[in-house]
Structure 1
Amino acid sequence: MSDEFQKRRSPVKRVAALFLLVAVVLLGSALMRHPDTPLPDRWNVFEPLAVKDPITPLTAWKLDWATSDPKLCKQVMQDVGRITEMDDLEVDGNCGIVGRVQLRRVGDADIGPIETACATALRTAMWEEHGVQPIALDLFNAKVSRIRHVGSYNCRRISGTSRMSTHATASAIDVTGFDLTDGTRIRLLKDWDDDDLKAQFLREVRDTSCDWFGTTLGPDYNAAHADHFHLQNKGWGPCR
């Protein structure tokens, strides 16, 4: 086969390959959008997040999608939490809440009432479903009945700095402990330094919170967090 013939044929081959690729993409898209598609929702890029679905490589992307769209976020939370939708809070350029909700429950755990951003509520729901509850069952053979907290929204600066806290937009929640269905009470301030299952539980739920929040600060970070986990939606901060 001559080089000249090969050169003439190559553009045809490239066009044919491109056509085939486009056809495959369009066919796949049509199949995923079809109401009777055999593809599970958790693997379908056109289906929104469902908190109780098993984790897949698409989960993080679906979570980002939901937390960036307050309307979608609230729809997802209606299926897994107990929320009251509220109008956005507009205070000034530094403080306010987009996607504001009052949260009273996530999954099987009471948590409220707490006024927060839906994105914070949804990340908390993912943590409760895929981290907190499985760890409690594994260590105590009991479930978490209540997640204790000291709030989410607070229009203030970070202590000792001129920077606004992520609490100023309800983009964080401070968790102080947990109550279990068997009556066990677990508190960071009391139980973090013990050498028992309570301390192990706290460290494991701290570690798994980093799967769902951008930053986690706790007793290992500094003394100011000795009594709570600061769970923050965004950032590439520490998990300590």
Structure 2
Amino acid sequence: MRALRRWTTALVVLAGLAMAALLLWSLARQRPQDVPWTPLDLGQPVGMFTGRKLTALTQDRGACLALLDRAGIRYNRLPDRRDGPQCGYDDVVRFLPGGARGLAYRPASLGMSCPVAASLALWEWNSVQPAARELLGTEVVAIAHLGSYNCRRISGRSSSDWSEHASANAVDIAGFRLGDGRRIIVVRDWDDDGAVGRFLHRVRDDACGLFATTLSPDYNAAHADHFHLDQAYRGPMGWRACR
């Protein structure tokens, strides 16, 4: 009887493992970004592991550029730059007009690391535009920013770690211009209790799923006028910041 019970238990465990494997296989086929081992595809819906796969692109420049190409994103690569031992970049791109499905960045000179560019594209397609259509009845035609590359430390303090801006692996988003002419400005509209405020909070929340670090006016006074978005690599399962 004991042997029979052991065999029965083993069969139940094996059946459970088989069902779990079948579930994961089905999930990988239907929503590949919800499982960790499937390749990143910018054309797939955002899933539970999309953000970590985007951050991992910081370790593989070639794979990141190939993803932009497959997604039909038009861009220019900028020349490598070095400003001392801690500052510079070698994977910066700039969207061409219409590069990320027509949305413009103002000023137009924005250059950012490839992983940040890929993340911005997914943010636009899966968050910014759907939220604008639903909540504001129009689309976003331009995003205002405060820049990407800046050879400085975090918070500007001489004793701080170096910022992701020092390698153009971050971007600061200041506002949005809508198709009907309206402008949404983070510093002015963050506390709006209507559709504009809901829009800003939704796109901030969605950015948290795509970027390794998302900081907003909820974080501190230094971020009262922008969203800081970066792809800081902190290891395969490193911590992620959302505030």
Sort the TM-score into its range (normalised by shorter chain): 0.7 to 0.9
Q: Following superposition of structure 1 onto structure 2, how do residues 117-132 of structure 1 map, counting pairs within 5 Å?
A: 117-132=113-128
- Relative to structure 1, the CA distance from residue 217 to residue 91 in structure 2 (aligned partners, 3 Å threshold; closer, same or farther) is same
SS at match of 1:119: helix
Q: Which amino acid aligns with 1:207?
A: D
Name the residue aligned to 1:201. 199
Higher mean alpha-carbon deviation, 88-97 vs 174-183, is at: 88-97
- Contact 2:213–2:240 at 8 Å: present in 1 too? yes
Cα distance per residue 1:172-200 (max 9 Å; x no partner): 10000011222221011111122221111
Judged with a 3 Å threshold, the aligned counterparts in structure 2 of structure 1 residues 107 and 50 are, in CA distance, closer, same or farther, namely farther
- In structure 2, how many angstroms separate the alpha carbons of the residues matched to 1:186 and 1:233? 25
1:230 Cα deviation (Å)?
0.7
- Rg larger for: 1
The answer to whether 1:51 aligns with 2:48 is no
Q: TM-score, normalised by structure 2?
A: 0.74
Match of 1:239 in 2: 242
Matched, 1:134 2:137: no
RMSD across aligned positions (CA): 3.4
Alignment of 1:109-120 (within 5 A): 109-111=103-105, 112-120=108-116
CA distance in 2, matches of 1:156, 1:125: 26
Give me the identity figure in percent.
39
State the partner residue of 2:10: none
Shift of 1:98: 2.8
User: Matched residues in 2 for 1:63 and 1:157: separation?
Assistant: 23
In structure 2, the CA distance between the partners of 1:120 and 1:81, relative to structure 1 (3 Å rule), is: same
Q: Does 1:70 align with 2:68?
A: no
Q: Which amino acid aligns with 2:242?
A: C
Matched, 1:160 2:163: no
Structure 2 match to 1:94: 86
Distance in structure 1 (CA, Å) of the matches to 2:151 and 2:219: 23
CA shift in 2, pair 1:189/1:65, >3 Å: closer
CA contact (8 A) 1:100 1:117 kept: yes
Segments of structure 2 that go 5 or more residues without pairing to the other structure are 4-24
Aligned length: 217
1:34 corresponding residue in structure 2: none
* Alpha-carbon shift at residue 118 of structure 1 (Å): 0.7
Deviation at 1:103, TM superposition (A): 2.7
Q: Which amino acid aligns with 2:146?
A: V
Moved more, 204-213 or 62-71: 62-71
State how far apart, in whole Å, the 1-side matches of 2:37 and 2:214 are. 30
Distance 1:238 1:63 in 2: 15
- Counterpart CA distance in 1 for 2:215 and 2:55 is 21
Determine the C-alpha separation between the residues in 2 that align with 1:136 and 1:89: 36
